């Protein structure tokens, strides 16, 4: 979102990512990831005050330090098909808030029964795994349990706290708010020459247009720089949270409730989960909004790149300063040189034909002079994609490509360059500008795919303040755990 009043203070990150179908050389190997969402097979609360009573059928779980109340959950991890576990996260929906975190403990005994467990016969508490952090009401807590869940099998957890504020959590009997165990798998896919590279959860992508240039090295090609091939599906992404949850005296600053809760975008585990979610939706490259050298967003770039390590996901940068000023040629050159020297050589940075990818935001009053400045400034080999303006195609100076950012418009086709779609636009404390309609969105996805434009842009993955997100939310949750909009992208 580029219209936040606190834009420069919060320094947002937009991210774009892509979908690819490439080829593999003989004996080439390519690591991939996918995520399983596992529901609990049992859960219950035990109460020290009523040590002989079972509460296994309750729709809520309780955690309290005084009087003592603890919650037990058990999950059956299966269906890995030989894949190794890259990460595991426990997601629990909180009905109430607490300034004191609760701790997740491992439980070695998995024989306890949901309908008979009590405080008197509980299977005990093992070593601590991780903590929830501050608990917000009507939000998901996501706790990294990778150190405990390392293979297929049954895993039990004990949730406990020393705090005196009772925390109410949704139990498996509650429906869509039931706890979840998210397992990100890391597998290896290999193929012979010219065989299509198929992502674990993805159906075939549309064929690349013959008129569009493609990267010289595609993922799985055995080249030294595996990168996405055109057409690339991309989603604008924001890791500027938790700062952006609190704006203009409104907390949370959104009309919706993300399934991951009001998360911290600087948490590498959150970024890893988002990457897995986007890959499920056929999103495999990324461009992160960037507000200059030494800015807050600059400080997050390494986290984004690290989170993508070992995956086919790629990050580029979105140069934001052009949207609020007219940077000089020397300033642009300095910024591009900085990006090249600090980030562009990282294996997870997005490159096209060897050039590091930079998208450039703009303002409505831009004209050919902006394109001239970027043409002069790009002396370091960046792949520059400028935002369109009136008359852009007639400018003497042309960048590598053009894009549009238009969240209040359902579809926007910049023929020969890009195609963008938006799920909806409802900015907090404002009226609806684009109403959500999942059936309309599915039609828009199909039109975008049929366009075969080389950049196919999703506006947005998680811009919660303007209400354009396609990330899973309570309002559009689905059985897959990814939400209706990511399901629609996955299926089309």
Where among 145, 165, 184 does a domain terminate? 184
Q: What three-state secondary structure class fits 459?
A: strand
Residue-level length of the chain: 492
Residue 213 confidence (pLDDT): 36
Q: Is residue 458 part of a domain?
A: yes
Q: Do residues 404 and 388 touch, judged by C-beta distance below 8 A?
A: yes
* Residue 1 forms part of a structural domain: no
Q: What angle do CA 228, 312, 141 make, to 5 degrees?
A: 130
User: What pLDDT is stored for residue 223 in this prediction?
Assistant: 55
CA dist 345 and 466 (Å) reads 34
pLDDT reported for residue 449: 97
CB atoms within 10 A of CB 337: 15
Whether residues 430 and 467 share a domain: the answer is yes
* Residue 174 DSSP class: G
Domain's final residue, options 184, 203, 220: 184
Q: Find residue 70's DSSP bridge partners.
A: 46
Whether the Cβ atoms of residue 200 and residue 187 lie closer than 8 Å to each other: yes
Q: What is the CATH number of the domain that holds 250?
A: 3.20.20.80
Same domain for 78 and 121, yes or no, is yes
Note whether residue 437 is domain-resident.
yes
Is-contact 4 12, C-beta < 8 A? yes
- Dist CA 13 CA 449 (whole Å): 26
Answer whether 477's CB lies under 8 Å from 176's CB.
yes
Which domain does 167 fall in, by range?
A: 32-184
The verdict on residue 172 lying in a domain is yes
Residue 236 lies in a domain: yes
Render each residue's pLDDT in the chain as its tens digit; 492 residues: 454 444 444 433 333 333 333 332 222 233 345 778 899 999 999 999 999 999 999 999 999 999 999 999 999 998 777 788 888 999 999 999 998 999 999 999 999 999 999 999 999 999 999 999 889 889 999 999 999 999 989 999 999 999 989 999 999 998 888 999 999 887 443 332 223 333 333 333 333 333 333 333 443 333 578 899 999 998 888 888 888 899 999 999 999 999 999 988 888 998 999 998 999 999 988 888 888 899 878 888 899 999 999 999 999 899 989 999 999 999 999 999 999 999 999 999 999 999 999 999 999 899 999 999 999 999 999 999 999 999 999 999 999 999 999 899 999 999 999 999 999 999 999 999 999 999 999 999 999 999 999 999 999 999 999 999 999 999 999 999 999 999 999 999
User: Please, which residues bridge with residue 35 across strands?
Assistant: 184
Q: Residues 247, 201: one domain?
A: yes
Residue 170 pairs in a beta bridge with 60
Q: What is the pLDDT of residue 218?
A: 41
Same domain as 330, residue 276: yes
- Return the sign of the alpha-carbon dihedral for residues 268, 269, 271, 272: positive
d(CA 154, CA 479): 22
Residues 419 and 410: their CA atoms lie apart, in Å, by: 11
User: d(Cα 363, Cα 322) in Å, to the nearest integer?
Assistant: 7
CATH number at residue 113: 2.60.120
Any domain includes 2 = no
From 184, 207, 228, the end of a domain falls on 184
223 lies in some domain: yes
Q: Interhelix angle for 438-451 vs 484-491, to 10°?
A: 30
Please state the separation of Cα 276 from the chain's center in Å: 7
DSSP three-state, residue 378: coil
Residue 393 domain-assigned (yes or no): yes
Handedness of CA 322, 353, 355, 380 (dihedral sign): negative
Query: Do both 140 and 261 map to the same domain?
Result: no
Specify the pLDDT at position 9: 41
CB under 8 Å to 30, separation ≥6 — which residues?
24, 188, 189, 190, 197, 219, 220, 226, 312
Q: Would you state the pLDDT for residue 12?
A: 38
Instruction: Please tell me whether residues 314 and 201 are part of one structural domain.
Output: yes
For the chain, the domain total comes to 2
């Amino acid at each position: 979102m580029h219209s936040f009043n606190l834009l420069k203070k919060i320094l947002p990150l937009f991210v774009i990512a892509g979908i690819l179908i490439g080829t593999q050389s003989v004996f080439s190997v390519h690591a991939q990831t996918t995520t399983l969402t596992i529901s609990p097979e049992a859960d219950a609360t035990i109460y020290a005050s009523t040590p002989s009573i079972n509460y296994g059928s309750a729709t809520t779980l309780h955690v309290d330090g005084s009087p003592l109340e603890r919650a037990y959950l058990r999950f059956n991890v299966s269906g890995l098909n030989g894949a190794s576990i890259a990460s595991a996260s426990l997601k629990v929906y909180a009905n109430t808030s607490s300034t004191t975190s609760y701790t997740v403990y491992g439980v070695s005994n998995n024989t306890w029964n949901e309908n008979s467990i009590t405080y008197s016969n509980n299977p005990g508490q093992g070593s601590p795994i991780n903590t929830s952090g501050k608990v917000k009401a009507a939000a998901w807590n996501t706790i990294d349990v990778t150190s405990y869940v390392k293979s297929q099998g049954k895993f039990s957890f004990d949730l406990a706290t020393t705090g005196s504020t009772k925390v109410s959590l949704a139990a498996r009997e509650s429906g869509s708010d039931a706890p979840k165990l998210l397992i990100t798998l890391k597998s290896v896919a290999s193929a012979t020459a010219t065989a299509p590279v198929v992502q674990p959860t993805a159906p075939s992508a549309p064929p690349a247009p013959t008129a569009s240039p493609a990267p010289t090295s595609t993922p799985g090609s055995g080249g030294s720089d595996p990168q996405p091939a055109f057409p690339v599906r991309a989603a604008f992404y924001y890791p500027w949270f938790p700062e952006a949850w609190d704006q203009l005296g409104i907390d949370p600053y959104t009309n919706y409730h993300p399934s991951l809760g009001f998360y911290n975008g600087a948490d590498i585990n959150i970024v890893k989960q988002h990457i897995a979610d986007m890959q499920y939706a056929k999103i495999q490259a990324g461009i992160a909004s960037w507000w200059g050298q030494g800015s807050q967003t600059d400080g997050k770039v390494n986290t984004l790149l690290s989170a993508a390590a070992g995956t086919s996901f790629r990050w580029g940068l979105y140069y934001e300063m052009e949207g609020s000023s007219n940077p000089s040629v020397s300033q642009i050159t300095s910024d591009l040189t900085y990006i090249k020297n600090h980030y562009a050589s990282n294996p997870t940075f997005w490159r096209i034909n060897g050039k590091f990818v930079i998208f450039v935001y703009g303002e409505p009053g831009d004209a050919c002079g902006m394109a001239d400045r970027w043409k002069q400034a790009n002396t370091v080999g960046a792949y520059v994609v400028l935002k369109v303006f009136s008359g852009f195609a007639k400018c003497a100076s042309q960048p590598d490509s053009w894009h549009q950012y238009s969240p209040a418009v359902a579809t926007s086709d910049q023929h020969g360059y890009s195609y963008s779609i938006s799920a909806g636009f409802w900015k907090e404390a404002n009226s609806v500008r684009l109403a959500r309609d999942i059936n309309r969105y599915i039609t828009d996805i199909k039109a975008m795919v049929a366009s075969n434009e080389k950049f196919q842009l999703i506006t947005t993955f998680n811009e919660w303040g303007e209400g354009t997100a396609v990330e899973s939310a309570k309002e559009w949750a689905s059985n897959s755990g990814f939400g209706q909009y990511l399901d629609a992208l996955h299926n089309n």
